[in-house]
Amino acid sequence: ASEPRLQAIDPSKLSITKTTTPKQLMPNEELVFGRYFTDHMLSLEWTASDGWQESRITPYQNLSLDPATCVFHYAFECFEGMKAYKDKNGDVRLFRPDKNMARLNRSSSRIALPTFDSEAMIELIGKFTKVDERFIPSARGYSLYLRPTMIGTQKTLGVGPPGSALLYVIASPVGPYYPTGFKAVSLEATTYAVRAWPGGVGNSKLGANYAPCIVPQMQAAARGFHQNLWLFEADGEEYVTEVGTMNLFAAMKTKDGKKELVTAPLDGTILEGVTRDSILELARERLVPEGWIVSERKFTMKEVADAAEEGRMLEVFGAGTAAVVSPVRNIGWRGKMVDCGLEAGSEAGPIATRMKNWIEGIQYGEEEHPWSVKV
């Protein structure tokens, strides 16, 4: 997809109003994902006639919107999920923020919301994370989850492009996804509900893509599975796409004994994960020299099941910002359980473990790398 033309933001026009009632920090072990927020928020308003207005860091506060505001009726909403990390020197680092901003611009332009200058926005997010720096726990595995959000704010029930929008960023301190070490998950291969389809918006991070996934998620949970593995049926095949809110990787031996790390291609039906991209790049740099084949290609659930059946399955894992990697123990598919190759008593395979260590090493600045951006 071509990158949208970006609208200007002037990052020097920033007003900062500090809270007079600072919150008490939560003890690290009591942090629950997305439940507690920092003292401040960053917001920018946009109008079709005047473009982006001056940005503001203000105390975290409610929004006040007319009940007819278009976001409530026609889902003019898109968002991002990214993290700020504190390194051992106390510096704050973002991980590949350019990727998240580019994706937010692709999402917003898909639903007739405005685009924005990514670099200016990264600068503003950097200032915001510095203002609320005290909320970033310095322990390894902890971070500040950032939620950039854009909504259409025009007051109208008419269905059309919003004439005004709000871009805001809130931040939530989070703990490690697996506080006591990896816990491998079970997936339910799902075809009774379809998350995305060719020509649809599965590759955009729209709020409207997420609400419809909750009922299938509850159905899978009722059958004892942690997440849905979204399959897409075409040409009489069931293609593996992604899982819950993660991209999926499978490490399998080919029939002629080669080791292959495979993930679905960016064909418009999966989200272009930042973690997915990072894993592919690290795999090409560090696994290919060990003899691995790294593939972005369509693959089917039958291929996965055959590999398991024939003893060629090495490991399967999800990949996303929240957990970095999430090892998969097995996949329920057509009434049987496909075993994903973890040894008894093991919660993660070697590739998932190495990828997590490599990526976290970069995120926490232990390995100097251009992906880690000091703010």
Nearer to ligand PMP, 242 or 260 (CB): 242
Of 97, 137, 273, 327, the residue at the interface with ligand PMP (CB under 6 A) is: 273
Q: Output the smallest distance, CB 248 to ligand PMP, in A.
A: 9
Q: Output the smallest distance, CB 272 to ligand PMP, in A.
A: 8
151 binds ligand PMP (CB under 6 A): no
**What's the residue count for the chain?**
375
Query: What does the block give as tokens for 129?
Result: 């994370």
Selected range binding ligand PMP among 59-67, 86-94, 270-278, 303-311, rule: CB under 6 A:
270-278
Nearer to ligand PMP, 148 or 273 (CB): 273
Selected range binding ligand PMP among 66-74, 232-240, 243-251, 282-290, rule: CB under 6 A:
243-251
| Contact code string over 294-333 relative to ligand PMP, x by CB under 6 A | --------------------------xx------------
What DSSP element (H or E) covers 369? none
Strands (E), the chain: 14-16, 40-47, 51-52, 55-59, 77-79, 82-86, 92-95, 143-152, 164-174, 185-190, 227-234, 237-243, 246-253, 259-263, 293-296, 313-320, 324-333, 336-339, 372-374
How does DSSP assign 248-282, residue by residue? EEEEEE-TTS-EEEEE---SSSS---HHHHHHHHH
Q: Output the smallest distance, CB 24 to ligand PMP, in A.
A: 29
**Phi and psi for 317 in degrees, rounded to 5?**
-150, 150
Nearer to ligand PMP, 108 or 245 (CB): 245
Nearer to ligand PMP, 38 or 227 (CB): 227
Of 246, 283, 342, 352, the residue at the interface with ligand PMP (CB under 6 A) is: 246
| # chain residues binding ligand PMP, by CB under 6 A | 12
Selection from 51, 54, 43 nearest residue 5 by Cα: 51
Selected range binding ligand PMP among 158-166, 215-223, 266-274, 349-357, rule: CB under 6 A:
266-274
Q: Output the smallest distance, CB 103 to ligand PMP, in A.
A: 7
Helix and strand element counts for the chain (H, E): 7, 19
- Residue 330's DSSP bridge partners are 186, 339
C-alpha distances (whole Å) from 61 to each of 101, 173, 180, 305 are 24, 17, 34, 50
Of 107, 203, 275, 326, the residue at the interface with ligand PMP (CB under 6 A) is: 275
Q: Which of residues 156-195 bind ligand PMP (CB under 6 A)?
A: none
Of 9, 124, 271, 359, the residue at the interface with ligand PMP (CB under 6 A) is: 271
Nearest-5° angle of CA 275, CA 77, CA 246? 25
Nearer to ligand PMP, 69 or 321 (CB): 321
Q: Output the smallest distance, CB 245 to ligand PMP, in A.
A: 4
Of 241, 245, 263, 269, the residue at the interface with ligand PMP (CB under 6 A) is: 245
Strand 55-59 relative to strand 14-16, pairing = parallel
Query: What does the block give as tokens for 370?
Result: 């251009």
Q: Which of residues 53-112 bind ligand PMP (CB under 6 A)?
A: 81
C-alpha distances (whole Å) from 178 to each of 32, 142, 186, 326 are 12, 11, 15, 9
Contacts of 298 (CB under 8 A, 6+ apart): 239, 264, 265, 267
Residue ranges binding ligand PMP (CB under 6 A)? 81, 242, 245-247, 271, 273-276, 320-321
